[in-house]
Amino acid sequence: MLEVRNLHSFYGDAHVLHGVSLEVNSGEVVALLGRNGMGKTTLIRSIMRLAQPQVREGSLLWNGEELMHLTPHEVASRRIGLVPQGRRLFPSLSVVEHLTMLKPASAKHGWTVSRVLDMFPRLAERKNHRGNQLSGGERQMLAVGRALMIDPELILMDEPSEGLAPVMVQHLETIIADLGRTGLAILLVEQNLYSALAVANRFYVLETGKVVHAATAAEIKENQASLLRFLGVH
Ligand SMILES: Nc1ncnc2c1ncn2[C@@H]1O[C@H](COP(=O)(O)OP(=O)(O)OP(=O)(O)O)[C@@H](O)[C@H]1O
Ligand SMILES: [Mg+2]
């Protein structure tokens, strides 16, 4: 369903992605692993067609349609949601305002404010709180909820567990696994290997802008050592 082929992305003259290819199929949770600065966020931003980085070569096929010439808004309207690294909420907008600011083209999968608030009871209790009044965990829930409100078939999540307490990380893992079971596809950027192992069906390791390893959950169960080696964990 998402097919990234030979993607080359740049910031100015800096060539950051060197021919990345990967795919995410319907209902799969796919983890994108890699150490700091390896190009994970660059890949997510390239897929969303954000102004930076510049993609100079390659192809981004989404259900057969080329995304390369679309705007970020048009990408979102194709039901690709984004949970950006660092959450990117608005400090002065309330929880409910965050959830109602983007209107889906049509509510195919039935995501509504009340369904999102049912999923995140903590947010329901704080629905009139502003972005800057929420804890780190609540902000991450809201960032996920906001992405669901565009009624996605694929969500790109960029390090959602970053900076969260272990109990919130576990809660998030449950949510990601539950969303995966509803048929939603998720491309999950993670530095937390154990979080990724808990939820993902397949794995890619990115190193200096190249995919250096790809494996299924079953393959990793058999042989975790090779994955750890590619991540530089000993
Ligand atoms: N706006 C930018 N302008 C110039 N270079 C950038 C910019 N953003 C990222 N880079 C560079 O591109 C490379 C990849 O960065 P990227 O943010 O994609 O890494 P990452 O894998 O997401 O890292 P992290 O795990 O720390 O979030 C790094 O060398 C980084 O310094
Ligand atoms: Mg990043």
Give 142-155 pLDDT, tens digit per residue: 999 999 999 999 99
Measured in Å, residue 205 CA sits from the centre of ligand 2 at 13
Distance set, CA 8 to CA 4, 20, 31, 34 (Å): 11, 7, 20, 17
User: Which mutation among 32, 33, 42, 85 tests ligand 1's pocket best, with the greatest number of atoms within 8 A of CB?
Assistant: 42
Ligand nearest to the CA of 39: 1
User: Which mutation among 41, 88, 192, 231 tests ligand 1's pocket best, with the greatest number of atoms within 8 A of CB?
Assistant: 41
Give 18-76 pLDDT, tens digit per residue: 999 999 999 999 999 999 999 999 999 999 999 999 999 999 999 999 999 999 999 99
Q: Please say whether the beta carbons of 212 and 230 come within 8 A.
A: yes
pTM (global) more than 0.85:
yes
* Domains located in the chain, CATH noted: 2-88+153-231 (3.40.50.300)
Query: Within 13 Å and on the Cβ side, how many CA atoms surround 202?
Result: 15
- In short, whether 51's Cβ falls inside 6 Å of ligand 1 is no
